[in-house]
Chain A
Amino acid sequence: MGGEFKGAVRPRRMPHARGGQALIEFAVVLPLFLLCLIGALDAGLWAVQTSAEVSAVEQGAMIASSAGSSPTSQTAPDARAVTAAISGRLRTALFGTNVESWCAPDAGGGCAPDAAQRCPSTPVEVQNADGPRVVVVCVSEADPPACTPPPRGRVAPFPPGCEDSPLITVRVVGFVASFVPPGFGPGAGAFELPTNISATTHTLRFAP
């Protein structure tokens, strides 16, 4: 009977030195593994979020450009409608990020396109003004110079381009959230992903 167990593998206790070595290897590999895993996830997330932002600003620019899409319309686009349309789309894609609409209030309490170009232009500006994990959607408008009587030797319209329709820029700028929760990075906002996507087009003001 005793011979049945002869030669069977007996469980052995792991020597202390090997246990310590495994622990050290694990402690070295785990951060690297997590770094690679979170990095890959963040890269994928960044691509998805940027894709959503690109299509959102493109749609916003289309809306802005066709705001006066009837032959008689001379009005500037309604910035509130443009930012609302974009913000709605972005909120579904940019989870963990606050999407704020930026616009210049007009005299009637409405939301006019920003003709003074005061919209934040870099992610850092947004972070300083509104905090981390915030993107701002803004619609800015660049009007052509006013037409003046041409000087001698020049032809109307003067200056060149004064009869152009306004140039509308729809911008999404700020830092979007990553998979790393706030406070777990090496510094405040260390793993947040900067974004600065814009789309520009002329509005339709005159359509013969």
Chain B
Amino acid sequence: MRRSRRPGDDAQAVLETALVIPILLFLICNFIAVMVQVTVQEQLNAATALAAQSRFQAPDNAIDPPGMECCGTGHGALVTAGLPTGCRYAAASFYGTMTTYTGLLHWQLATLCTSGGGSGNAGNPPAQPVAYAGSPSSADVSCDIGSITAGGGVVPGYTDRALNPPSGLDVVECSASASLDFANTPLAWGVFWTPTLHARAEALPPPFRQ
């Protein structure tokens, strides 16, 4: 005996489809967004690590001459005249490595060169880095590389007291932060969160400089 279709069957099928497809697309969009976030985070980690390391590719006391600038960023070139050459090398490495997905990133602008920061321990409070005189403040990356004062005194870079406690070791520390925005992508349909990515890297000077 042939069973006739009931009038509600079609409506039920349409309703089920209308419920399931958006949920499915939502899940797919968010899955892809997480993958993109992981990838961008890895690239940010690599860029900051190379930036910290490349400070040591420049001579310790080299200073950029007048007219020197670096790295065509989204906010214009960074003027590095009067800054340590290693600071420009760090920026060049960072911007040269962070080349993909840049359209999705909103950077938290920072001072390119700083000095005197440090992690704390029981006997020493954490120290906030101080901007290097004349350093641009619209960089996407900030590197604590130390400085030499007008009187010839040496202000170390970042003092990591977790290394060689309690006095710590002077290292170069670079950090960058950005929020990942999917608003201008097709994923915006189902991705409603805007993650903030942080990356931080330290580099020890090579043995012949220690």
Are the CB atoms of B59 and A47 closer together than 8 Å? no
- Is the CB of B57 closer than 8 A to any CB of chain A? yes
Q: Is the interface of B mostly helix, strand, loop or mixed?
A: helix
- Is the CB of A7 closer than 8 A to any CB of chain B? no
Q: List CB contacts (< 8 Å) of A13-72 with chain B.
A: 15-18, 36, 39-40, 43-44, 46-47, 50-51, 54-55, 57-58, 61-62, 65-66, 69-71
- Is the CB of B158 closer than 8 A to any CB of chain A? no
Are the CB atoms of A207 and B206 closer together than 8 Å? yes
Are the CB atoms of A200 and B96 closer together than 8 Å? yes
Are the CB atoms of B57 and A204 closer together than 8 Å? yes
Contact with A along B16-31 (1 / 0, CB 8 A): 0000000010001001
Task: Name which of A83-91, A102-110, A154-162, A183-191 contacts chain B.
Answer: A154-162
A164–B57 CA distance with the chains assembled, in angstroms: 9
Partner among A18, A50, A160, A205 whose Cβ is within 8 Å of the Cβ of B42: A50
Q: List CB contacts (< 8 Å) of A160-176 with chain B.
A: 160-161, 163-165, 167, 169
- Is the CB of A201 closer than 8 A to any CB of chain B? yes
27 pairs from A and B in contact (CB 8 Å cutoff): A15-B2, A17-B2, A36-B24, A40-B31, A43-B31, A47-B39, A51-B39, A58-B50, A62-B53, A155-B65, A155-B66, A164-B89, A167-B96, A196-B100, A197-B43, A199-B93, A199-B97, A200-B50, A201-B89, A201-B96, A202-B54, A202-B58, A204-B56, A204-B206, A205-B57, A206-B59, A207-B206
Closest 5 CB pairs of A and B: A200-B96, A58-B46, A202-B57, A47-B35, A201-B93
Partner among B64, B92, B97 whose Cβ is within 8 Å of the Cβ of A198: B97
Interface residues of A (CB under 8 A from B): 15-18, 36, 39-40, 43-44, 46-47, 50-51, 54-55, 57-58, 61-62, 65-66, 69-71, 155, 157, 160-161, 163-165, 167, 169, 196-208
The total of Cβ contacts below 8 Å across the A-B interface reads 115
- Interface residues contributed by chain B, number (CB under 8 Å): 42
Residues from chain B with a CB closer than 8 A to the CB of A57 are 46, 97
Are the CB atoms of B96 and A157 closer together than 8 Å? no
Q: List 5 extra interface pairs beyond A164-B85, A203-B57, CB under 8 A.
A: A62-B53, A160-B66, A163-B62, A197-B43, A207-B209
Determine the residue in chain B with the shortest Cβ distance to A62: B53
Chain B: minimal CB distance from A117 (Å): 13
Residues from chain A with a CB closer than 8 A to the CB of B39 are 47, 50-51, 54
